[in-house]
Structure 1
Amino acid sequence: MPKLRVIDSITELGAGDEGCMAVSGSHGGLSSARYALAARPLLSVFNDAGVGKEQAGIAALDFLQARNLAACTVSHLSARIGEAQSTLDDGIVSHLNALAFAQGVRVNERCHQVIDTLQSLQRKTP
């Protein structure tokens, strides 16, 4: 089963975190995406930071999709930016890429439910 990493900043991920589920307090911008790419988690969860100009707060989703990595954001109205525990406990999925959708992640789902479901599925996989 992939380990769960609950980290306030996606920059805390390292090479040993490949295949983990990374729940972060980081915004879903391109700079955050590059840290996720280096670690290659099974799923990266970010804060949408209000989405922002030209969708800068969710740019990680397309960037990671193009590199075969699943990612989603939680709404900035549901979880505190920069606080991963809030992302996990209170976050509600606001945006996701196709790979996250294929894993079963859905908009309006609570982050902790997403993680619980993915962990259950991983336990059942031989």
Structure 2
Amino acid sequence: MFLPDILVLDSVTKFGPEARGAVAIAASHGGVIAAHMALAGGIVGVLLNDAGIGLDNAGIGGLAYCDRFGAPCAVIDHRSARIGDGADSAVRGVVSHANAVAAVLGVRPGMPAREAAEILRAAALSPVEPGPLPAESRDVLTQAGDERALVLVDSVSLVTSEDIGAVVFTGSHGGLLGGRPETAIKVDVFAALYNDAGVGIDEAGLSRLPALDARGIAGVTVAAMSARIGDAHSAYATGVLSHVNRRAAALGAREGMTARDFAARMCGFKP
């Protein structure tokens, strides 16, 4: 979807060469990884979703990251527009925080996302080169006696065909991209964990869970205040389940269970 000279995206993992030099309203979480992907793709100014802010302010970590490169970045209140839905962000989104560069240009909390994007579009902005992706990780953990591996990926976009049948912990938010069920996860894993991103308006931060149920995949989210969004290791270390789908519940998952206990149960589950 396009507004005049403004790119509207469901995710900063989903764009092409048209992004270079563009201002974007994107519905990804506002963490460091998402901000990096936007800058690396040539986007010159971006609005993301604050994802409930969460543990260690991880949901807005991209603000300071973009400041390092002199790039304007703001985040949309997760209570005003659906995470993972760019069109909704453009229509209903309201800015909750802006970085120093965006603030100097006139972006402020309470401003409609479209107005903020138009301010950035009117500025003389150029692409920056942020270098390698910071702190990206993809780790596979196995333990003697387990039925299946535990895969830790900071972004669900890093899931591959090798993960079929595995237990996958992601740092991604639990929202479908543009409401499309096929975006819940690329392959049929045994179980998947996401961050609930503060749940947000229309419970968008949980919308992957029923889509996973339809595929027979156990799906859960950890509370945004229990683990850093964009960081699968944080989800594993300190995450606490906030919501579980029917398949996960049938396998023994419960709200309030630690992510570690969920991993142990799913990896060792014997049907």
Superposed pair shares fold, TM > 0.5? yes
Identity across matched positions, percent: 34
Structure 2 unaligned segments of length 5 or more: list them. 1-146
**Letter matched to residue 209 of structure 2:** L
Paired position in structure 2 for 1:43:
191
> In 2, distance between residues paired with 1:17 and 1:120?
16
1:27 aligns with 2:173: yes
Secondary structure of the structure 1 residue equivalent to 2:269: helix
- Cα deviation for residue 12 of structure 1 reads 0.6
Structure 1 unaligned segments of length 5 or more: list them. none
TM-score, normalized by length of structure 1? Answer: 0.90
Paired position in structure 2 for 1:52:
200
- Cα deviation for residue 33 of structure 1 reads 6.3
**Letter matched to residue 14 of structure 1:** T
Secondary structure of the structure 2 residue equivalent to 1:24: strand
Paired position in structure 1 for 2:217:
69
> In 2, distance between residues paired with 1:107 and 1:61?
14
Secondary structure of the structure 1 residue equivalent to 2:235: helix
Secondary structure of the structure 2 residue equivalent to 1:81: coil
Higher relative contact order (CA 8 A, sep 6+): 1
> In 2, distance between residues paired with 1:112 and 1:5?
13
Of 153, 160, 171 in structure 2, the residue corresponding to residue 7 of structure 1 is 153
- Cα deviation for residue 37 of structure 1 reads 3.5
> In 2, distance between residues paired with 1:7 and 1:42?
15
Paired position in structure 1 for 2:262:
114
> In 2, distance between residues paired with 1:35 and 1:15?
15
Structure 1 residue runs of 4+, over 2 Å off? 31-38, 117-122
TM-score, normalized by length of structure 2? Answer: 0.43
C-alpha contact (below 8 Å) 2:152/2:169 kept by paired residues: yes
